[in-house]
Amino acid sequence: MKGFNIRVMFGNQVQMFSFATDKDETAEEKFDEAVKEINRIYHETGRFDTKEEVMKHFAKYGFYRFKA
């Protein structure tokens, strides 16, 4: 298991999220892709509205939240 921490803005707040994956061999690459996509979303359409949207975004890249 590999884990990553990231602060993400949604709505009007910033929150620390801890995500993990069991795919150790591609973890860094997939996390980088997820973060780059967040940056693209922020520049083009704005931020996420809810923390559930943040979790769904990272789930698309194979990550799950391991710390609330």
In this prediction the pTM is 0.89
pLDDT, position 57: 97
Q: How many CB atoms lie within 10 A of CB 11?
A: 12
Considering the chain, what is the average pLDDT of its residues?
A: 94
Residue 26's pLDDT band, with cuts at 50, 70 and 90, is very high
pLDDT of residue 45 exceeding 90, the answer is no
Phi, psi for residue 44 in degrees, rounded to 5: -95, -40
Q: Give the pLDDT mean for 33-41.
A: 95
For residue 12, the one-letter residue type is N
Tens digit of pLDDT for each residue in 4-18?
Answer: 999 999 999 999 999
For residue 38, which of 4, 1, 7 has the smallest C-alpha distance?
Answer: 7
